[in-house]
Amino acid sequence: MKKIKKQKPVTVYFTASITGKKHYLENYLKIINHLKFKNCHVISDHIINSTESEVKLEKKEDRIKFHKQLEKWIKGSDFIVAETTFLSISIGYEISLALNLNKPVLILYSSGNPPTLLIHYRDERVVCEKYSPETLSDIIDDYIYYVKGTADTRFTFFITPEIATFLKKLSRIDKIPKSVYLRKLIEKDMEKRT
């Protein structure tokens, strides 16, 4: 009898603005809960269980100790998820640290514009996505799939501005990421041809 090799659980470092928690806690929890639902080990207590006033009152030694722990968490993670709707310099630092450690980064935001410094960052490890309650789980699922390496190939190709506009419109109407739309279209065609 062949032994089935158990896959190691994916470890995810989650970061978001502690100050923004008063506005976006529900979003933070949806992200964390979906990651857990996908059997990921999520490091998030430093965001969820901390308050702005606690952080402000920390002594220098405590901040240095926390910074060392933060580095360990990021080093030990398979990837990081940053919820950036409420901008924060510390989130930018954590993203930079993760990229320096060659960690993939999923940057999420639910309203407004993407983080200015990261929207033009050209690196396949960085994915920046605007999400809604309807698209969040598909975006996370796609990213986990990519990070786990279970995807056969990451396929990149050039499209015309008209196709890009069409995909963006369909993505908004159907409330799904463009990649999910394209994959479903290909799968549908594959079913017809087999």
| Per-residue pLDDT tens digits for 20-66 | 888 999 999 999 999 999 999 999 888 888 766 666 667 778 778 88
Sign of CA dihedral 44, 50, 51, 55: negative
Instruction: Work out the average pLDDT over 120-127.
Output: 70
Instruction: Work out the average pLDDT over 138-165.
Output: 75
pLDDT at position 153 is 55
CB atoms within 10 A of CB 96: 13
- C-alpha distances in angstroms, 142 versus 38, 46, 178? 11, 26, 11
Q: Count CA atoms closer than 13 A to 159's CA, side-chain side.
A: 12
Pick the closest to residue 131 from 119, 140, 122, 121 (CA basis).
140
Domain ranges of the chain: 10-153, 155-194
> Mapping DSSP to helix (H, G, I), strand (E, B) and coil, where does residue 113 land?
coil
State the helix-helix crossing angle for 60-75 and 89-100, rounded to 10 degrees.
40
* Confidence check: pLDDT of 16 > 50: yes
| Per-residue pLDDT tens digits for 162-180 | 887 888 787 777 666 777 7
> Mapping DSSP to helix (H, G, I), strand (E, B) and coil, where does residue 104 land?
coil
Instruction: Work out the average pLDDT over 140-159.
Output: 72
pLDDT at position 57 is 67
The angle formed by the CA atoms of residues 82, 127 and 46, to the nearest 5 degrees, is 15
* Confidence check: pLDDT of 182 > 70: yes
pLDDT at position 55 is 65
Pairing of strands 126-130, 79-83: unpaired
Domain made up of 10-153: CATH architecture: 3-Layer(aba) Sandwich (3.40)
Instruction: Work out the average pLDDT over 4-27.
Output: 84
pLDDT at position 25 is 92
User: Confidence band (pLDDT; 50, 70, 90) for 151?
Assistant: very low
